[in-house]
Amino acid sequence: MKISTTKRLERLHDRYMNGGMDRRTFLSLTAAAGVAAGVSTRWMGPAVAAAKDIRFDGWGGTVQEALDKYAFKPYTAKTGINVVQGTFGDESEIITKVRASTPGEYQVIHSSGVEYYKRYVDAGFNSEIDTSKIPNMVNVIQAMITPFEKITPKLSAVPYDYGTTGIAYNTKVISEAEAKEKGANLLNDPKYAGKIGGYGEMNTRVWYAALQTGQNPNDIKDIDAVWAKLREQVGMVKKYWGSGAELMDLLSKEEIVVTDAWSGRVASLQQQGAPIAYLDPPGSYAWMEDMLVLKGSPMAECEELINFMLEPATAIAVAEGQNYPSSLDPNKVKMTEKIEKLPAYDPTGKMESLTFADPIYWGEHLDEWTKQWDRIQKGA
């Protein structure tokens, strides 16, 4: 490990010397990686002393714009610690990058829920957060914390927001009555062939195919029926999108008229005046996002950042900006009218009305189902 880490530090140094990154980013990444692995270089002294950056990777688009405006920039203004940002479209993409990195190179991930949390933990990427350094966690919905604690009693992530993947449809083409009658089956309706979209990721595809075949997505009895539904759908789909920005673009340009969609992105389109409605059919895919702190990160700074992000004023501003409800308990923190009207918002703070993926069940099938979905998507 020390040999490979030293080589990576040298590559970071070469990249810095060739103008590939700024000094603050270079010093932060080399310090975190070097300290985590127990190695040093001739420039490590000043790097350790000047580790004043936090690396953050998120979903980009309106979600990250809200985080940047209402959380990161105010945090930097208050502390002097810069948040260096990266983006991804599919979380499998960032997991692959983390696997190829050294500890400390990636630090805070805006991760999409408990099933992905288990993947990071199983790969050994989790840290141990000192929750006493995050006093604002007292306001976080306990029902969102508990699933993470079942995987690791010492948390590596803090729940931050939640939403659903429901059905978005163009109201100029599809009526509310039709959408409610057909529900998940709209995604395989021959009437809209060539104008259907979907998130090109296995979890969502299998989840909705399970609903279409009358099965519990957390206890699928006939997986062959699921694959048959997906083969049927592939021939009707205009595009499997890979990011929230692409989803919004396809809907706003009316290249598609129906798709499974992320609730917050649909809310953003509605606020822009797009003729898009949103439906959460029974059993629709709910998820909670978290701020995941990876192994090798500067823990004190990351804990300070997350605590700042959980300040009620900050968390509410971010929730309004990104159109996803905050993880703060509405029984403890008064929410605004805008948040209370967001899709998927749970006024009880118990999360009982939402259906989440069972991380153990989905983890057991992850590799097998991902390979099969990839084959089907390619026409096999």
pLDDT tens per residue across span 37-79: 544 444 444 444 445 899 999 999 889 999 999 999 999 999 9
Query: What pLDDT was estimated at residue 89?
Result: 85
Query: What pLDDT was estimated at residue 113?
Result: 86
Query: What pLDDT was estimated at residue 32?
Result: 56
Q: Select from 166, 150, 160 the least CA-distant residue to 112.
A: 160
Query: Which residue type sits at 64?
Result: Q
Query: What pLDDT was estimated at residue 194?
Result: 98
**Could you give the CA distance from residue 323 to residue 287 in angstroms, rounded to a whole number?**
14
Q: Is 353 helix (H, G, I), strand (E, B) or coil?
A: coil
Does an H or E element contain 305, and which?
helix 299-309
Q: In the beta sheet, which residues pair with residue 328?
A: 140
Beta strands in the chain (DSSP E): 53-58, 82-87, 108-111, 157-170, 196-199, 237-241, 258-262, 276-279, 285-293, 355-356
* Helices 202-212 + 359-377 axis angle, to 10: 90
Query: What pLDDT was estimated at residue 220?
Result: 98
pLDDT, one tens digit for every residue, the chain (380 residues): 444 555 666 666 555 445 555 545 555 565 555 545 544 444 444 444 445 899 999 999 889 999 999 999 999 999 999 999 999 988 989 999 999 999 999 999 999 989 999 999 999 999 999 999 999 999 999 999 999 999 999 999 999 999 999 999 999 999 999 999 999 999 999 999 999 999 999 999 999 999 999 999 999 999 999 999 999 999 999 999 999 999 999 999 999 999 999 999 999 999 999 999 999 999 999 999 999 999 999 999 999 999 999 999 999 999 999 999 999 999 999 999 999 999 899 999 999 999 999 999 999 999 999 999 999 999 88
Query: What pLDDT was estimated at residue 49?
Result: 41
Does an H or E element contain 356, and which?
strand 355-356
**Could you give the CA distance from residue 13 to residue 26 in angstroms, rounded to a whole number?**
7
Q: Select from 262, 246, 269 the least CA-distant residue to 87.
A: 246
Q: Domains of the chain, with CATH numbers?
A: 2-162+288-356 (3.40.190.10), 163-286+364-370 (3.40.190.10)
